[in-house]
Amino acid sequence: MLTLFFFSISFFVPKASYAFSLQEMFTSENSVITKIQERIEYFFAFKVENKVAVLEKQAEKRLVMAQGYAKEGNNERVKSLMQSYLQIKEQQNDLLEKTSNKKVLDTVEERTVEQQKTME
């Protein structure tokens, strides 16, 4: 009887339900789908130069998302995205040490300077 009583209370006590945005699930930097997609993209970039380009694209994506959240005033998301951006750039830096391709190094340098201007 007691168990039946507790189960019946759970049916009669209203609870708030939260919906999720399907668009945010596919575009959020923390979503599992986004992480899997980025890892697959990185895995199939076989050359070091291609891996660097993939990481550059991911870093740029984080920076653009951080800009949007900064305009909205969501400082916590901006902070999270900037940390993610820095992690990607560190990973990219590790790969750059393995290459001597001057064109790749110059491209990354140029884009990083532009990204730093955006961050300011």
* Percent of the chain predicted with pLDDT > 70: 80
Structural contact between residues 111 and 103, judged by C-beta atoms closer than 8 angstroms:
no
Query: Residue 41 has which token pair?
Result: 């993209």
Q: What pLDDT shows up at residue 24?
A: 59
**pLDDT band of 22, cuts 50, 70, 90:** low
Q: Is the dihedral of CA 94, 100, 103, 106 positive or negative?
A: positive
- Does the pLDDT of residue 25 top 60, yes or no? no
pTM: 0.71
- Does the pLDDT of residue 67 top 80, yes or no? yes
3-class state of residue 26 by DSSP: helix
- Does the pLDDT of residue 15 top 70, yes or no? no
The mean pLDDT of 47-70, rounded to a whole number, is 89
**pLDDT band of 20, cuts 50, 70, 90:** low
**pLDDT band of 72, cuts 50, 70, 90:** confident
The mean pLDDT of 5-22, rounded to a whole number, is 63
